[in-house]
């Protein structure tokens, strides 16, 4: 499985962070509409991410629910029929919820920087430092901390779980 080091932080406004991210990015910004449907899954999380009627991906991932940088293991499988796949998985496993967002993607080196506007939740920053095979977790954590500092994100802004967890707590999904 692929792996990365991830942090997620609540931010005041995507617009305030855009210039900081753009100033240090190699690529971006790229705007992406995402509609994530989560399914019951005992061994981690399973979601279908739809980008359009003809493009999506099924994503399985495992990571700890903790505030600081955390290791995440994931597998992605593309689909050209996300609506049909959503229906099949919903019938087989049941939906656990849905997250809709507008994501602005930047690349800073090997790190994916996501500035997310999440429906019913607000604005968030997500960093994903992609690790190489056999690379230590510590290297990715150090890189995540450095980027947090460059972007002006404080440890007190970090959140533990996934967007679906926050929506579940508010009852908004």
Q: Is the peptide bond before 29 cis (omega within 30 degrees of 0)?
A: yes
Query: Does 64 or 110 have the greater pLDDT score?
Result: 110
- pLDDT of 171 > 80? The answer is no
> Which pLDDT score is estimated for 57?
98
Burial of 85-114, coded b for 16+ CB within 10 Å and e otherwise, reads bbeebeeeeeebbbbbbebbbbebeebbbb
Domains defined along the chain, listed by start: 2-170 (2.40.320.10)
- pLDDT of 59 > 70? The answer is yes
- pLDDT of 142 > 70? The answer is yes
- pLDDT of 146 > 70? The answer is yes
Phi-psi region of 28 (alpha: psi -120 to 50; beta: other; left: phi over 0): left
> Which pLDDT score is estimated for 172?
66
Q: Dump pLDDT digits (tens) for 66-119.
A: 788 999 999 999 999 999 999 999 999 999 999 999 999 999 999 999 999 999
- pLDDT of 173 > 70? The answer is no
Residues 20-44, mean pLDDT to the nearest whole number: 96
């Amino acid at each position: 499985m692929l792996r990365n080091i991830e942090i997620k932080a609540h931010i005041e406004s995507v617009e305030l962070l855009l210039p900081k991210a753009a100033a240090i990015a190699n690529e971006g910004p790229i705007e992406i509409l995402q509609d994530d449907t989560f399914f019951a899954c005992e061994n981690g999380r399973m979601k279908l991410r739809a980008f359009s009627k003809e493009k999506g991906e099924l994503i399985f991932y495992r990571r700890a629910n903790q505030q600081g940088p955390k290791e995440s293991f994931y597998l992605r499988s593309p689909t050209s029929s996300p609506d049909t796949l959503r229906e099949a998985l919903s019938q087989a496993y049941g939906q656990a919820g849905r997250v809709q967002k507008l994501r602005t993607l930047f690349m800073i080196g090997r790190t994916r920087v996501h500035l997310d506007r999440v429906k019913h939740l607000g604005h968030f920053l997500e960093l994903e430092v992609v690790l190489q095979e056999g690379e230590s977790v510590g290297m990715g954590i150090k890189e995540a901390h450095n980027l947090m500092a460059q972007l002006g994100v404080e440890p007190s802004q970090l959140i533990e779980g996934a967007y679906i967890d926050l929506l579940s707590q508010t009852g908004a999904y």
